[in-house]
């Protein structure tokens, strides 16, 4: 294997077998870093994802004055984080490629009496920020410009509470407003059209902050301070999805992912896989929790005869990051699988919607876009055994991992420029995938 070439042909579609623990959950890791840095005192943390995105958040809280002492081991970070953050005016924070770092910081900094400028890489600088800055502006923060990085934030010690009805279901938007609400006078509320990831509202109670959830509406009282909390971050279900789908595609495979986060807003992909006929078993570990998060083990045993399904618009927020790998799985499901209302994919780390179509088409699969819907028809990849395909990652970790799985699952040699972007969310992904080929 070269720096970019994945030689799937050498495995000849051998099954994947064994147990594995994937690196810590990325969404939880971001929030654990931010919340422990906000708290007054020292928190012990274990299992933080050691990825480029999470390191952007760690660097941000250090720039803002938090004391961070972490050691790396096998893709995880453990140690202590001490707050509260104390920073003077005029700080500059590089958010790298991380949209979560950026949008949550915009909310957090809105309620701080300081000026800070957020920057990012070329990809992040193209991503839309008005969906966050607009509601935060109505609370009293000032942003220049409003739309894209770099953005300078003029925070306020006290903000106005708002009752915000978000036009999109977005955990980042919701979390930014709730974090700003910690510094607001009164009750700040956010309502969504569909339920998005709820890690912020699940974790804040562990830090002494009451959060009220009423259906699709989440509320928080201002004027509260976070208390230190020791945290053990479970494995990332979005990372696990790539291993589980690979097992579902390879005959006779059986893979167990241990100590995995089982938050219902994060495992929608398992519901879809089950509906397609995949054999998925979940065992909850009642003793291993983080705040109100559920943790457990997930086993995927290969089963013949997958069938197509429709992934509805209200399911998408719980599996938006897994659409690329589920689209690959859909090529092995008889019929036509439709992913409804996935236009949000156009403004991820790359235009994932066009990239999925481009990549699957290059593999010889039948795929189309109908407005904001993605349609994938049955038909595994068609390829020449003597040909090496080139599928560009576009610098997008979810795409790179999808094409790596395609190479392994269908015994194809695929050259993937930018393959190292996997480190954004899953350092060591290729090694973990191939280790399951040898057990």
Q: Which residues are catalytic?
A: 321
310 C-beta neighbours (distance < 10 Å), count: 16
Structure tokens at 286: 């009642």
- CA distance linking residue 27 with residue 143, whole number of Å: 25
Strand order across the beta sheet in which 115-119 lies: 91-94, 115-119, 151-154, 142-144
**What's the length of the chain?**
439
The dihedral sign for the CA sequence 82, 174, 98, 435 = positive
Q: Are 132 and 173 in contact (CB under 8 A)?
A: yes
- CA distance linking residue 181 with residue 7, whole number of Å: 50
Query: Which positions ≥6 away from 228 have C-beta within 8 Å?
Result: 36, 39, 40, 41, 42, 43, 83, 207
Closest CA to 190 of 172, 208, 210, 209: 172
3-state SS assignment for residue 188: strand
Strands 67-73 and 76-83: what pairing?
Answer: antiparallel
Q: How far apart are the first and last CA of the chain?
A: 20
């Amino acid at each position: 294997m070269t720096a970019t070439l994945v030689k799937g042909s050498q495995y000849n579609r051998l099954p994947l077998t064994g147990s594995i623990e994937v690196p810590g959950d990325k969404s939880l890791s971001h929030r654990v870093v931010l919340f422990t840095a906000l708290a007054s005192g020292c928190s012990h943390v274990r299992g933080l994802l050691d990825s480029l995105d999470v390191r952007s958040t760690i660097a941000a809280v250090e720039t803002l004055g938090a004391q961070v002492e972490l050691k790396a081991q096998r893709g995880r970070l453990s140690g202590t984080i001490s707050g509260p953050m104390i920073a003077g005016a005029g700080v500059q924070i590089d958010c790298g490629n991380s949209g979560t770092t950026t949008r949550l910081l915009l909310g957090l900094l809105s309620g701080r009496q300081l000026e800070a400028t957020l920057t990012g890489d070329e990809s992040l600088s193209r991503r839309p920020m008005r969906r966050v800055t607009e509601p935060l502006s109505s609370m009293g923060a000032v942003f220049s410009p409003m739309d894209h990085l770099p953005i300078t934030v003029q925070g306020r010690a006290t903000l106005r509470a708002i009752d915000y009805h978000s036009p999109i279901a977005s955990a980042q938007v919701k979390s930014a407003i709730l974090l700003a609400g910690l510094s607001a006078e009164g009750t700040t509320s956010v309502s969504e059209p569909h339920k998005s990831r709820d890690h912020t509202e699940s974790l804040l109670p562990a830090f002494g902050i009451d959060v009220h959830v009423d259906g699709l509406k989440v509320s928080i009282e201002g004027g509260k301070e976070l208390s230190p909390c020791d945290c053990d971050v479970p494995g990332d279900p979005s990372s696990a999805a790539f291993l589980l789908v690979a097992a579902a595609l390879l005959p006779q495979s059986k893979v167990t992912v241990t100590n995995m986060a089982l938050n219902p807003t994060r495992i929608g992909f398992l519901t879809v896989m089950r509906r397609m006929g995949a054999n998925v078993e979940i065992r909850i570990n009642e003793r291993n929790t983080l705040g109100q998060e559920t943790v457990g083990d997930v086993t995927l045993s290969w089963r013949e005869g997958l069938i197509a399904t429709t992934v509805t618009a209200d399911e998408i927020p719980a599996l938006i990051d897994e659409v690329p790998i589920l689209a690959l799985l859909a090529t092995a499901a008889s019929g036509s699988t439709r992913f409804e209302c996935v236009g949000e994919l156009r403004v991820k780390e790359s235009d994932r919607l066009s990239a999925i179509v481009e990549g699957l088409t290059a593999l010889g699969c039948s795929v189309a876009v109908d407005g904001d819907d993605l349609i994938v028809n049955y038909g595994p990849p068609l390829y020449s055994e003597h040909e090496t395909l080139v599928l560009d990652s576009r610098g997008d970790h979810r795409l790179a991992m999808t094409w790596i799985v395609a190479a392994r699952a269908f015994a194809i040699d695929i050259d993937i420029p930018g393959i190292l972007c996997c480190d954004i969310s899953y350092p060591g992904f290729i090694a973990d995938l191939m280790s399951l080929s040898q057990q």
